[in-house]
Structure 1
Amino acid sequence: MSRPEAEDRFDDDDYPAYTMGRAAEMIGTTPTFLRALGEARLIEPLRSAGGHRRFSRYQLRIAARARELVDEGTPIEAACRIIILEDQLEEAQRINEELRASEAGSRSDEQPSR
């Protein structure tokens, strides 16, 4: 592997760089909590060749959000559902904004120039 490819992985939010123990330490929780998020299908860690769970930075951000909700008293299943709904809402808003921008661009192209 060449050096630039290795450096690209550091910038890749989806690269599974963190072991279970390191991931739990980074977000201040336990491996059991991370396993529970996997069982709830909120995050699905990749597996190393040896079968060990590996987490990406993106997955750790999701897990940290779940931890915040659970720390506030939300049951883990509800926290996972909230995060999924928040993600769906964000995606819908992004698509809506793109459609509005596209529609506005189409309207300005249709107007005759004077």
Structure 2
Amino acid sequence: MTQPGRLDDEDYPAYTMGRAAEIIGVSPDFLRRIGDLKLITPLRSAGGHRRYSRYQLRLATRARELCDQGTALEAACRIVILEDQLEEALRRNEHHRSA
């Protein structure tokens, strides 16, 4: 039985590579390639299989969207990394302002 809250945890590695690829409409190779480019680092199961979180799927989906628009994969990954860093910085800034 899963622990309470895991379904709500966007960092919980709930998805196998095949299921993750199916959900976001890419090939498993796409997921491997964005892993090689350091966009996402999937957790490895005890058997060595890649497992992905909802957060990682969101980043992968954004990279796929950019690639679909003609952006090279390497550039798409860099853009997504920078967008994610900006979002985190804005979130921290807002937290400090409200504290």
Confirm or deny a common fold (TM above 0.5): yes
Determine whether 1:28 maps to 2:25. yes
* 1:15 counterpart letter in structure 2: Y
Give the letter aligned to residue 25 of structure 2: G
> Take 2:15 and 2:62, find their aligned partners in 1: how far apart are those partners?
17
2 CA distance for matches of 1:4 and 1:26?
Answer: 21
Matched residue SS, 1:62: helix
Shift of 1:4: 6.8
Q: Distance in 2 between matches of 1:26 and 1:81?
A: 22
Kindly tell me the number of residue pairs found equivalent between the two proteins: 99
Taking the aligned partners of 2:11 and 2:86, their CA distance within structure 1 comes to 21
Mark the structure with the bigger radius of gyration: 1
Partner of 2:93: 96
Counterpart residue number, 1:85:
82
Q: Which structure is richer in relative contact order (CA contacts within 8 A, separation 6 or more)?
A: 2
What code does the residue aligned with 1:20 have? M
Distance in 1 of aligned mates of 2:2 and 2:50: 26
Cα offset, 1:98, TM superposition: 2.9
> Structure 1-normalised TM-score?
0.80
Identical-pair percentage: 69
Higher helix share: 1
The two structures, once aligned, show a CA RMSD in angstroms of: 1.4
Q: Which runs of 5+ in 1 are unaligned?
A: 103-114
Q: Distance in 1 between matches of 2:67 and 2:18?
A: 20
For residue 22 of structure 2, give the secondary structure of its aligned residue in structure 1.
helix
Partner of 2:5, secondary structure, is: helix
Using the alignment, how far apart are the partners of 1:96 and 1:10 within structure 2?
Answer: 28
- TM-score computed with the length of structure 2 as normaliser: 0.91
Task: State the partner residue of 1:59.
Answer: 56
How far apart are the structure 2 equivalents of 1:88 and 1:69?
Answer: 17
Query: What stretches of structure 2 of length at least 5 have no aligned partner?
Result: none
